[in-house]
Amino acid sequence: MAEVVLETRGISKAFGALKASQDISLDLRKGEIHAIIGPNGAGKSTLIAQICGTLQPDAGAVLLEGQDVTGWPARARATAGLGRTFQISQLAMEDSVRENVLLGALGARGTPWSFWKSAKADAALTERAEAALERVKLMEQADVKTAELSHGQRRQLEVAVALTLQPKAFVMDEPMAGMGAGGSKRLTGFLDELRAEAPILLVEHDMDAVFALADRISVLVYGQIIATGTVDEIRGDPQVQAAYLGEEA
Amino acid sequence: MIPERLLNALILLGLIAVPAWALWADEPFTITLATRAVILALAAVGLNIALGIGGLVSLGHATFFGIGGYAMGILAFHAQSYTALEIGPLTLEGTKSMPVIWAVAVVFSALAAWGIGLLSLRTSGVYFIMITLAFGQMFFYFAISWSTYGGEDGLSIYLRNGFPGLNTLDPIQFFGLCFAILCAVLFAKARLMASPFGLALNAARQVPGRVEAVGLNPQRLKLVAFILSGAITGLAGALFADLNRFVSPTMFSWQFSGEIMILVILGGVARLFGPVMGAVAFVMLEHWLGGLTEFWHIALGAILLGIVLFARGGLIGILTGKGAAHG
């Protein structure tokens, strides 16, 4: 079995009577894409928030490369090698595309405490930032104000910012959300290659993308993982069909 | 529409030309007005680091202005009365040297900003506004009750403090000194805005979650911005006290906090020269309209309302034809 990079051990989270996460254990192994699917309100976003450190679980642990990071703030997890993309783009809309990836490069460097030298004249920062833009094919839009990008381009930029961190594991919350068929297909191709660099924990609604990409799929329903397996196993699982895929399968 | 760089150059040129004309026409009061505009601009440039880039709506910046003012007042008071300044076991002498006074003003306002920022940055939005206001009021009432240094009546300093090689009592020389400081601070701020710190702070205002997700601490970025901001406003306070040769608790008043915020909004939030434009316009309005009627604040209010409703980019935004630098 390939080396485990990211792992949750029995994490639980309740909001009052609502059990958003119940004893969730899953792992992400080197070289794979592990998709998490589930109907709306299944607790996918809550799970992601606990993995990335914006929400503390009531019980259980999150491990990154074997290290317990449960009590760590989100920024420490990012520094330790967790690169995330947001479901709703978290981009500095008033700034240029380049400035957004420069921020990522700055995060990778680990210190923003430079007050005099221009960020754009900093060769190391610029190289890292532009390399990420090249990879998602946004180099031509580098100097465009982010607010002027199309929705699909913003999704690409979202991935580019995570790339600048050169993380050990990616956590992507619906990277294809709202993308057109063409953009979705291109991004699918890109993620397919990306898994060789760092494994991806992928929350996605686009089933075509999930079935095309995932090495393993976990199905989350009412805060519980009801099944984990390969694409074929999940497709054939009667429990999953009943709970989630319904007539679709 | 004027390109922004040209407009900035014109503002600076105007700030030189008016006192130069006043010198030639022997109108020292106009030079004093120009100096007042330059010092208020400096205070507002300071506020604009927190407000414009950091998005921190501080209604307590008079605190730092007042600390700068009292740094000058206290040091000069001990120097002119030949009394020792005793702080606990330390016995210090007062001073009439501007560079020393400035250094003290900057250090103490930075320290205050650090303490206030540390506590108030735990909140945001309306609570941040209220907590900064509360700190301002604390300092205000402390100054009022501090009878050693004049309490409510404030402190008069008979002679303007000195700067090596200059006769600071000559209005045009003092103006030149203040103007040089403003230019230096504007230059430093322009560098700051383009620096990695500026970039990160700018993002921390817009998307703190993203800044956190790349491994940086948005709160710490804002705290450092708040400290830099307070230090610059504190320096302006020391100069302001020297301009008037008088310090009083009104420098700490919340009305003054509001006034510097008005300067920033009037000129244009997050524009490098916004506060300068705002201060110039404010001093001109205060002088001309104030000469016509006691109720000139009504006109100021109307202008401000117009800007907030129709021209978020402030005067700079109107003149350059650009909208708000940000919402």
In this prediction, residue A240 carries a pLDDT of 83
Q: Are residues A178 and A198 in the same domain?
A: yes
H helix runs in B195-217, sequence order = 196-206, 208-213
Q: Which residues of B touch A88 (CB under 8 A)?
A: none
Per the structure, the complete domain to which residue A112 belongs is given by 92-166
**Which pTM was predicted?**
0.94
Nearest to A117 among B195, B325, B327 (CB): B195
> What's the domain count of chain A?
2
Pairs of CB atoms within 8 A across A/B: 109
> Does pLDDT of A63 surpass 90?
yes
Q: Are residues A159 and A177 in the same domain?
A: no
Please report whether residue A138 resides in a domain: yes
Q: Measured between beta carbons, which residues in chain B are less than 8 angstroms from residue A165?
A: 214-215
Tell me the per-residue pLDDT of A83-95, one tens digit each, with 9 for 90 and over.
999 999 999 999 9
In a domain? residue A210: yes
Query: Same structural domain for residues A249 and A172?
Result: yes
Q: Check whether residue A177 and residue A161 sit in a common domain.
A: no
What the block records as the tokens of B230 is 């307070």
Asked if A193 contacts A11 with a C-beta cutoff of 8 angstroms, the reply is no
Where does a domain end: A115, A146, A166? A166
Tell if the CB–CB gap between A104 and B214 is shorter than 8 Å.
yes
Judge if A15 and A138 occupy the same domain: no
Q: What is the pLDDT along chain B (327 residues), one digit of tens a residue?
A: 789 999 999 999 999 999 999 999 999 999 999 999 999 999 999 999 999 999 999 999 999 999 999 999 999 999 999 998 888 888 888 999 999 999 999 999 999 999 999 999 999 999 999 999 999 999 999 999 999 999 999 999 999 999 999 999 999 999 999 999 999 999 999 999 999 999 999 999 999 999 999 999 999 999 999 999 999 999 999 999 999 999 999 999 999 999 999 999 999 997 999 999 999 999 999 999 888 888 888 988 999 899 888 888 899 999 998 765 554
Residue B313's pLDDT is what? 87
Q: Are A225 and A52 in contact (CB under 8 A)?
A: no
Question: Contact B212/A75, CB-based, under 8 Å?
Answer: yes
| Cβ–Cβ under 8 Å, residues B158 and B246 | no
DSSP labels, B92-135: EE---BHHHHHHHHHHHHHHHHHHHHHHHTTS-THHHHHHHHHH
Strand A33-37 and strand A200-203: the pairing is parallel
Distance CA B312, CA A222 (A): 46
pLDDT at B325: 58
Q: Is residue A219 a part of any domain in this protein?
A: yes
Q: Does domain B4-320 have CATH number 1.10.3470?
A: yes
Q: Alpha-carbon dihedral of residues B230, B232, B233, B235, nearest 10 degrees?
A: 120
Cα distance from A2 to chain B (closest Cα, Å)? 27
- Across chain A, mean pLDDT equals 93
Predicted local distance difference test score (pLDDT) of residue A195: 96
Which pLDDT score is estimated for A249? 39
Q: What is the reported pLDDT for A96?
A: 96
For residue B191, what pLDDT is reported? 97
Contacts of A90 in chain B (CB under 8 A): 207, 209-210, 213
Residue contact B216–A107, C-beta within 8 A: yes
Residue in B197, B199, B215 nearest the CB of A102 = B199
A84, A92, A112: residue with CB nearest B216: A112
What's residue B327's pLDDT? 43
Q: Are B115 and B63 in contact (CB under 8 A)?
A: no
Report if residue A129 sits inside a domain: yes
Rg (CA), chain B: 19
Q: In whole angstroms, give the CA distance from residue B106 to residue B103.
A: 5
Residues in chain A: 249
In-domain check, residue A12: yes
What pLDDT does residue A178 have? 86
Number of C-alpha atoms within 13 angstroms, CB side, residue B91? 3
End position of a domain, from candidates A166, A200, A219: A166
- Nearest-Cα distance to chain A for B129, in Å, is 24
Q: How far away is chain B from the Cα of A158, in angstroms, using its nearest Cα?
A: 10
CB B118 within 8 A of CB B223: yes
The pLDDT of residue B311 is 83
A92 and B203: CB-CB below 8 Å? yes
Strand A216-221 vs strand A33-37: parallel, antiparallel, or unpaired? parallel
CATH number at residue A68: 3.40.50.300
pLDDT of B266 reads 94
Q: Are residues A173 and A73 in the same domain?
A: yes
Q: Which of A103, A163, A170 to mutate to test the interface with B (most CBs of B within 10 A)?
A: A103
The answer to whether B206 contacts A52, with C-beta atoms less than 8 Å apart, is no
The percentage of residues in chain A with a pLDDT greater than 90, rounded to a whole number, is: 86
In A, minimum Cα distance to B190 occurs at A116
Q: For residue B324, give the chain A residue with the closest CA.
A: A94
Measured between alpha carbons, how far is A149 from A142 in angstroms, rounded to an integer? 10
ipTM of the complex: 0.93
Fill in the DSSP letter of residue A25.
E
Out of B195, B203, B327, the one facing A103 most closely (by C-beta) is B203
Q: Assign A82 to helix, strand or coil.
A: strand
A37-41, A98-102, A169-173, A239-243: which has the minimum mean pLDDT? A239-243
B232 touches chain A (CB under 8 A): no
Fill in the amino acid letter for A188: T
Domain boundary among A105, A132, A166: A166
Whether A131 and A155 have beta carbons less than 8 Å apart is answered as: no
Residue type, B172: I
